[in-house]
Chains A and B, each alone.
Chain A
Amino acid sequence: MSQAIIQIDQLSKRYKEASEYSLKDVSFTINAGDKFGVFGPNGAGKTTLISIICKLFSQTSGEVRYFPANGHDLSIGFVPQDLALYEELTAQQNMEYFGALYKLSKAEVINRTEELLAILGLSKVAQKKVKTFSGGMKRRLNLAIGIIHNPEILFLDEPTVGVDIQSKNAIMAFLEELNETGTTIVYTSHHMEEAEDFCDTIAIMDYGKVIANDTLKNLYESYNVSGLMEIMILLTGKEYRDGV
């Protein structure tokens, strides 16, 4: 049986001045080595959930428990949907800056920078300013920064949005490799096909609640469907969620 890396118990969040809860009694477990997908319509509570797990916000009630391998602090990697990069700096300088903030030694930063930029096809542009990069190159650098410190668990918010097919393939292939080396990956996306190919465990959210949570295979069997999109439509409906 897999070992839990994060356990979420009765987690609720209501923002100040909000009349309704953004998260209500959410409970599930992410196991070490999972490729865990969190899906749902806009406003379902995915970003709030990940922000609380990543300790960006505090919850109103409930608990998030972390089970790090070393018994100290769980090493978290976070790749936001926004390109959190310094455009005036080069790719290497960005890596060095964030590497230093992860408290890596100079040698570790240099080695990881060289390694990650090579894997993600950015070695040739390591000394170029990020502002000259294409959308796909920025996404790949955004990902490289999130894992420079070899995190135990990596949170990815729409990691392939707005990139070409080549960058998308490179990113997804790299994430597969990363997972094979033991990194747990928590992933949100609106690309259902990409999610189906990548994730093994899924949580579907709507109106701040987890309405389905199981392995992809079990979900197909339970709902008697052949695709993730069908489950999504079945559980969350076809109506727009613009006002949610």
Chain B
Amino acid sequence: MFVLPLLLVFIITIIQDSAFKIVNNNQISMLVANHDAGELGDNLTKRLANSGMFKVIEKQEIDSLTLKEEIARNEALTGLYIAEDFTQKLQDLSGSLSARMLSDFGIGEAEAKELSIPSIMFVHDPVLQESYCQSIIGMVHAHIGSMESARMIESIYAEMGVEEVPDEIKQNIARNHVTINKKPASVNKKMVTPNATQHNVPAWTVFAMFFMVVSLGTNIVKERNSGSFQRIKTMPSSFAVVLASKQVVYMTVGFLQVLLIFSVGAYVFPHIQLPELYLPANLVGMLIITLLSTLTAVSYSLMIGAVARTQEQANGIGAISIIILAALGGVWVPTFVMPEFMQIISELSPLHWCIEGYYILFLKNGNWHDLLHVIIILASFSLVFQLLTYLKLRIDKII
């Protein structure tokens, strides 16, 4: 009830944090086979090495086939093959473009000649996901773009008879003039820094919490089949009291699970090199969402227990349905990347709304107004599950 959910959140956060760091903090290993006869291949290699994002391993002697083989043998995660005519082609292209620009201004005359576009071969380990490959290609492109601009300006100066580009211009070309300030969206002025912990801890805690269906659902079937419910029916206490007491116990367990996992995220994660879980400012809101999430999980478990005929059925239906609802609810993949029809379906998953409630608090620092619709929807889910449980037990003459 406590160790396995905690272990699950630990493992997922470590995995997701590593994936996050691979493109942000850790250096990606890159094997560069630079065969360029000119200086730009060397220039690009230096730029990539100096960017701090790549651990560049230069191997000028290897051909493109060997480069692929070495990447396949895990020598590096990525590789670049720069052909011997890279500088020549880039210079031709820049020169041609600058000549065309100047001719448009009536300075000189542009020669109409056929140009071939320079290219670089990017090789990657097949385990590297497409999104990472695109990020790396984007970084390489940014450096090539900067070099291309510098070449064009040099060509323009040369066309105009100035041999040397002034240092100030060179330095300005080399650096970006526009800085992009990355700010996570927030509904109020308080900023929350999203990280792997902030995303994963609430989502996987909800997933673990809903797995109480295996325990509570099975328990209901067992008691029904063992005659305990029959015996209780002959007693003066209301059966509703018996069910309510079970719910209180399981809600307490769910609540303690959340408390334990969030506490570990906030106070233990920073000591083991994982990002800290920043608790939201609206702690009462967090308590309400936690209570409603546990109530929804308990109500769902009761419903499965009422519907299933055998313990095996309760186990199977319970566990598999939670995995499906978790997938739909955005535990693994955020719902915004799902196709539109799946996004609509995901709203039918109670886990989606539990996670949504926590995200409003943990990632957007939301207030009561932002939480209201989530509170209403979670309460409605609980009510529907409880009602279905009552109806099934009524049909079975248990209550």
Contact = CB atoms under 8 A, between A and B. Distances in A.
Listed residue (B225, B236, B237, B397) with the most chain A CB atoms within 10 angstroms of its CB: B236
A54 B226 contact: no
Interface residues of B, number: 15
Contacts, number: 49
Nearest to A155: B234
A82 B228 CA distance: 9
A84 B226 CA distance: 5
B235 interface: yes
B231 A83 contact: no
A135 interface: no
Contacts of B226: 82-85
B233 interface: yes
Listed residue (B223, B230, B237) with the most chain A CB atoms within 10 angstroms of its CB: B230
B231 A102 contact: no
Contacts of A73: 236
A102 B228 CA distance: 13
A170 interface: no
Given A101-B235, A103-B236, A56 B397 contact: yes
A55 B231 contact: no
Contact of A78 (B225, B234, B236, B237): B234
Contacts of B228: 84-86
A78 B231 contact: yes
B234 A98 contact: no
A57 B229 CA distance: 13
Interface in B218-248: 223, 225-228, 230-237, 242
A103 B230 contact: no
Interface in A87-146: 98, 100-103, 145-146
Nearest to B235: A101
Q: When A and B form their complex, which 5 residue pairs have the shortest distance between CB atoms, in order from nearest? A: A82-B227, A80-B227, A84-B227, A78-B234, A84-B228
Interface of B: 223, 225-228, 230-237, 242, 397
17 contacts: A54-B233, A55-B233, A55-B234, A56-B234, A56-B397, A57-B397, A77-B234, A78-B230, A78-B231, A80-B231, A82-B226, A83-B226, A84-B227, A98-B231, A98-B235, A102-B236, A103-B237
Given A80-B230, A83-B226, 14 more contacts: A51-B230, A55-B234, A56-B230, A78-B231, A78-B234, A80-B227, A84-B223, A84-B226, A84-B227, A84-B230, A98-B231, A101-B236, A101-B237, A103-B237
